[in-house]
Structure 1
Amino acid sequence: MPSRAERYLNHLDGLADDVEPDFYRLDSTKDGLADITAIVYHDLPEPGHLIGVTYGLSLSEHPDWRHGKPELSICVQSQDVAWALAIAHLAESLRGDCPFDYGATIDLGEPVSDESAMTGFVVFAPVVLDREDYEHIPVGNDPEDVVTIVGCYPVHDTERRFVQEHGLEAFWGLDWDPYDVTRPPAV
């Protein structure tokens, strides 16, 4: 019988068009919780892009998680794995504390990558996946053990503050490219 992690990875592999991922492990700093894994797919959804997905956040608990537990994802026009490692770091350091719900903003306080001035993320649905591919993914023997993949979108500090003041919908309606990590701030 496949493990919880194997079921999750089988689901991801079914979406990845036979692209083999790279795996990066981040040691757990939380007693009793396993390490976090960053799963990185290069050249998806098209050449020059990278998709990163975490595994291990959903092993923790949060009182706001009632209909599944999140894992984080990112899709950027870049080959720098720092983007995927950044969301894995967020998953590891904030698990149990942050619900990673839509509209949440996270400030790293420093640029994520040398190629960009972006210092934070906003959380929303992953735009590169269809709803049935990111919601309620069965991973455990218990039918209640489901994962929902949420998207993390790199943002400039001014954009992060805009989301906090005006909401996600107002930000999402602006003219910006969610994949472009070298874009200027939208606000």
Structure 2
Amino acid sequence: MQTRVERYLAHLDDLSGGQEPKFTPFRSTKPGMRDVTAIVYHDFPKPGFVTGLTYGLSLSGHSCWTRSTPELCISVRSTDDAWAWAIAYLAERLRGGDCHFAYGDTIGFGERISKESDMDAFVLSTPAGLAEEDFLGIDVGDDLPVTIIGCYPIHSSERRFIQDNGLDAFRDLDWDPYDVTRATVV
């Protein structure tokens, strides 16, 4: 019988076609909580991309998580692992608190996420490029399934725009969610 993490990794293996990821643990700063791990794939979903997912956020629990528990995902046109590390870092630091990691949430990183970009925040939404069955209701053997939440790097001005106008208004603007070198659109 597979463990929880084995079930999750088997799901990721199916998504990646069996590509071998790199694992980077982020030590827990919260008493009684396990580490969060960044799971990093290069050249996935296509050459020139880095894709990162977390494991460990869904173990932390939150009163808002009544239908599923989240893990985070980022996929951008880059080769820099910093994008994946950033979401794992945020998952570890913000879990168990006020952030419930829901669609439309914005999260400030507090500094540039990567040397290649001026972006310093994220907006959460459905993960681009994945079918619903690939990110919703992932059976890990618990009472609640895991849902993969997409993280999109944004500029501080875009974060303020989303907070003032909502995620749908931002989505309606002309921007490339995979381009980490793009100029701000607001």
Once the two structures are TM-superposed, the CA of residue 18 in structure 1 deviates from its matched residue by: 2.5
Once the two structures are TM-superposed, the CA of residue 96 in structure 1 deviates from its matched residue by: 1.1
Residue in structure 2 matched with residue 45 of structure 1 by the alignment: 45
- Paired letter, 1:73: C
Give CA deviations for 1:13-63 in whole Å, capped at 9, x if unaligned.
Answer: 001023111100010111111111100110011100011000000001111
The answer on whether the counterparts of 1:52 and 1:73 sit within 8 Å (CA) in structure 2 is yes
Aligned residues: 185
The answer on whether the counterparts of 1:75 and 1:128 sit within 8 Å (CA) in structure 2 is no
Once the two structures are TM-superposed, the CA of residue 79 in structure 1 deviates from its matched residue by: 0.7
Residue in structure 1 matched with residue 178 of structure 2 by the alignment: 179
Residue in structure 1 matched with residue 159 of structure 2 by the alignment: 160
Secondary structure, counterpart of 1:102 in structure 2: coil
Calculate percent identity across the aligned residue pairs. Answer: 58
Give CA deviations for 1:50-100 in whole Å, capped at 9, x if unaligned.
Answer: 110000000011111110100000000001000000000010000011111
The answer on whether the counterparts of 1:24 and 1:37 sit within 8 Å (CA) in structure 2 is yes
Report the TM-score when normalising by structure 1: 0.97
Unaligned segments of structure 2, at least 5 residues: none
- Paired letter, 2:22: D
- Distance, in Å, in 2 between the alignment partners of 1:17 and 1:137 is 17
Give CA deviations for 1:145-178 in whole Å, capped at 9, x if unaligned.
Answer: 3100000000001100000000000001100000
In the TM superposition, 1:112-151 aligns within 5 A as 112-140=113-141, 142=142, 144-151=143-150
Unaligned segments of structure 1, at least 5 residues: none
| The 10-residue stretch of structure 1 (28-37 or 175-184) with the greater mean CA deviation from structure 2 | 28-37
The answer on whether the counterparts of 1:138 and 1:147 sit within 8 Å (CA) in structure 2 is yes
- Distance, in Å, in 2 between the alignment partners of 1:145 and 1:167 is 28
- Distance, in Å, in 2 between the alignment partners of 1:41 and 1:130 is 18
Report the TM-score when normalising by structure 2: 0.98
In the TM superposition, 1:38-117 aligns within 5 A as 38-97=38-97, 98-117=99-118
> After TM superposition, where is structure 1 displaced by more than 2 Å over at least 4 residues in a row?
none
Residue in structure 1 matched with residue 8 of structure 2 by the alignment: 8
- Please report the RMSD computed on the Cα atoms of aligned residues, expressed in angstroms: 0.7
- Distance, in Å, in 2 between the alignment partners of 1:36 and 1:16 is 20
The answer on whether the counterparts of 1:53 and 1:84 sit within 8 Å (CA) in structure 2 is yes
